[in-house]
Structure 1
Amino acid sequence: MRSPEHPTAPQLLRLWREVRSRPDLSPDISPLYPVSHNPDFPPGRQQSFLDIDTDGPYLHIARCYTDKELSPLTSLAPRSAYTPLAYFKYSQLTHFVRRLTSTAPVRFTMTVFETLCTMDPPPTHVLSSLYSLLLSSSQPKVPSYVSKWQSELPDPISEDDWGKIFSINKYSSMSLSVQLSNFKLLSRWYLTPVRLHRMFPQSTPQCWRCLADTGTYLHLWWSCPVLATYWSEILAHVADITGFKSGNSYHLILFHLVPLPVNTYKTSLLLHLLNAAKSLIPRKWKQTAAPTVKEWIEAVERIRTLEELHYSLENQYQKYFKTWFWWSEFLLKRSPPP
């Protein structure tokens, strides 16, 4: 890996880009997650952070932990006295780590792939060994909560399709709230009436909205009669804007199993429209009313504003307009005449 001019290195890197989201290679938050030289963490752009000694070219997140808790400043960067700037930088680090670990804890054991990447000096034939590991991960190993989905879905999802689902959701939006909502849906984070009934038998397993059917995950997100009008209106607008007729399929709406190439779908307007529609469901989790089209439009606009800001900073207006042109046309048609 240290010799990019090696004849097999380009093929290795190409394969890595294709399968790097596989959970068996580096799942959750790796102990090697970079703190320094990380563009999402402003102090990481500097050559050093608090003058902490690093074992390697950068400061990784596991180095900042003691007994699985963020190390205090006195332990992380011991010295006789600290400047106000040092306390400020440590506060930045604390905020960054808490935001990062709000959805998943830091792992402190490395996978075989991570261990092989960090061996110094590297073992003999390291590139061949890494390539073999990447090839063996081509069939994704799904997390444990997938089995719960499989037992609930009328039409189970294959492992290959679960790999596509994870790949799409990992880069589904620049909005952290949308990413978090998608992750919580997939990991079954929300407490349903059925799950609460198992914990507290005195509570009812019936749906909070319709008060008739069993409140399973699929029911609360998709098949509840109270949501029928909401989903039909949203899908009609989606078909009008994008020309894509999704039909009545939870595979497409909830899991993004769309008959399009993954890379194409990741940059499409359809992805943002469906993400916005799903993100409104937990906002009215225990309410009897369904979200409205007006709320959906507002949610899409929040995503669009964030996308516009990002692409303007990157000076990539062409990508922004390519994605959001038809949404602007849709809003223009809905606006009242002057």
Structure 2
Amino acid sequence: MWTPKQLRDKSQALLPLNRTTIQVWDQLHRLQATNNKFLKWAPIEALQSISPWLSFAKWSALGITHITNLCSQRDIIPFPDLQTAYNLPPSFIFPYVQLKSIIKERVMLTTQPADNPNTERLALYDRCRTAPIKARSLSLSYAALRHNNTMPDFSFIAQWNREQSIRFPKDQWLRSILALKGITSCYSHVEAHKKLIYRWYLTPDKLNKIYPLSSAQCWRCEQNRGTMSHIWWHCPNIQPLWTEVQTICNSLGVLRGKITPEIGLFLLIPMTTPYQDRQLMIMVIMAARNLLAYHWKQKECPTSQLLDSKIRQYLKYEQLSTTTPKHKIATNNNWHKWITFDPLAVP
């Protein structure tokens, strides 16, 4: 009955008396039926039909049984006043903000807005101001929003710094994370790059920390500890692959100098490199890294033929993702050096 007519479950069979009662109710509350909104005198559980993710039983247990308990003559009661009146815990600020948004949109309120609409925002700030004892990603996100500071010291950055014996500025890390933005339309490349940056791959070193009985030695060379940087770069068994990447980039004229871990692992290509050269170099590097992931536990290094085939595959994917002839021409222009270099490439 309290639910607006358009939102009611039509599949429920009603007794004649109940159906007649609801029809009379709708006639008496035509404004509610016209606006498709709840009355503010309705029980708070009536909002469950449009917000099933909220637990209204917790509100009822604290004495807030009707929507009008949350409303004053002017607007929704600010959160600090509700805390005083109903002894709400500070953690209720999050469902309060959600509930306020629902009430403003779906409940008939004929009053003017309150003088201080930012009261609950201040309460939300007070709730988020002190991070928990063990700060996790959500707390770090709130901390980043509260302060106009730079990127937090994430654990993956510290681990890369220890393994590579280098320290990138934080703006360089941000540039590395966003390196594939606008470069490719294939989101799997973006995911694969972020998996490497965030150190999600289960290397022997990581598995040894999870399962102490497992070996931490590299399964390719069986000589050094299988850290992330060793598995992806320093292992002597995969050096022929990175040498081939170096040869291809030099032959295409997209790289001047030697390929380094900064380029091969983090895609920190010099900003002076033209866009088309940078895009082509990134695709060659991504092809090599994809082969390493595909042959994850194999001792043999992927061959140059596999690398060429993978690059051709990436070219085909980019061509198939184009929707208009104009986009296809732009894709072929970006890959022009590879199409000219590889006799098997199809323009």
TM-score with structure 1 length normalisation? 0.55
Q: 1:309 aligns with which of 317, 320, 324?
A: 320
Q: Percent identity?
A: 25
Of 311, 315, 339, the residue aligned with 1:328 is: 339
User: Retained in 1: the 8 A contact 2:183–2:279?
Assistant: no
Distance in structure 1 (CA, Å) of the matches to 2:275 and 2:308: 23
Q: CA RMSD in A?
A: 3.6
**Superposition deviation, residue 263 in structure 1:** 8.8
Match of 2:234 in 1: 223
Q: Is the 8 A contact 1:242 1:270 kept in 2?
A: no
Question: 1:205 matched to which residue of 2?
Answer: 216
1:288-333 C-alpha deviation (Å, 9 max, x unpaired) = 111121111222122211211233436323321221111111112x
What residue is the counterpart of 2:175 in the other structure?
Answer: 164
Structure of greater relative contact order (alpha carbons < 8 Å, 6+ residues apart)? 1
Superposed CA deviations along residues 70-95 of structure 1, whole A, max 9, x for unmatched, are xxxxxxxxxxxxxxxxxxxxxxxxxx
- For 2:302 and 2:342, locate their aligned partners in 1 and report how far apart those are by CA, in whole Å: 19
Q: Which moved more, 1:219-228 or 1:200-209?
A: 200-209
Aligned residues: 216
Name the residue aligned to 1:155: 166
Aligned partner of 2:296 among 272, 285, 302 = 285
Q: Secondary structure at the match of 1:205?
A: coil
Partner of 2:282: 271
* Whole-angstrom distance in 2 between the partners of 1:229 and 1:268: 23
Q: Aligned partners of 1:282 and 1:215: how far apart in 2?
A: 14
* Structure 1: distance between partners of 2:292 and 2:251: 22
CA distance in 2, matches of 1:167, 1:243: 20
Q: Does 1:255 align with 2:266?
A: yes
- Structure with greater helix share of residues: 2
Equivalents in 1 of 2:326, 2:276: separation in Å?
22
Q: Rate the CA distance shift 1:319–1:138 in 2: closer, same or farther, 3 A.
A: farther
Aligned mates of 1:137, 1:292 — CA distance in 2 = 48
Structure 2 unaligned regions, length at least 5: 1-35, 37-49, 55-93, 95-103, 106-112, 119-143
Between Structure 1 and Structure 2, whose CA radius of gyration is higher? 2
Question: Closer, same or farther in 2 for the Cα pair 1:314/1:138, shift >3 Å?
Answer: farther
Residue of structure 1 aligned with 2:307, choices 296, 300, 316: 296
User: Alpha-carbon deviations, 1:152-192, whole Å to 9, x = none?
Assistant: 11222221110111121344432233222111111111111
Contact 2:254 2:280 (8 Å CA) reproduced: no
* Partner SS, residue 318 of structure 2: helix
